[in-house]
Amino acid sequence: MNMEYYPLEQGFAYGEEGKMPLARITLRKLNESTYAIDHTYVSPQLRGQGIAKKLVLLAAEKAREEGFTIAPLCSYARKAMEEDPSLKDLIEP
């Protein structure tokens, strides 16, 4: 199996491209300067391996590259961003 992270139209996923993702994060534009992270999901057999955190980091990297902040509406994303000093500046005040 060739498992990898890849972009989706609204976010990022992990798994084999072309198949149902095993993990994903949904990212959508709230306005001209803010993305919302609505949902983070990792299938039960992959939990605890840091996949959700990597998805949050990919979303953060995209936001940073585009000059956006993030409104982490998903509770996991909010916790991950608040606990990581390198991401705190991206959280929408």
Q: Is-contact 34 71, C-beta < 8 A?
A: yes
Identity of the residue numbered 65: E
| pLDDT one-digit tens code per residue, 32-86 | 999 999 999 999 999 999 999 999 999 999 999 999 999 999 999 999 999 999 9
DSSP string, 24-41: EEEEEESSSSEEEEEEEE
Q: What is the pLDDT of residue 1?
A: 65
Mean pLDDT, the chain, integer = 96
Q: How would residue 17 be classed by pLDDT, with cut points 50, 70 and 90?
A: confident
In the chain, where the domains are located: 4-90
For domain 4-90, is the CATH number 1.20.1440.80? no
Q: What is the pLDDT of residue 67?
A: 97
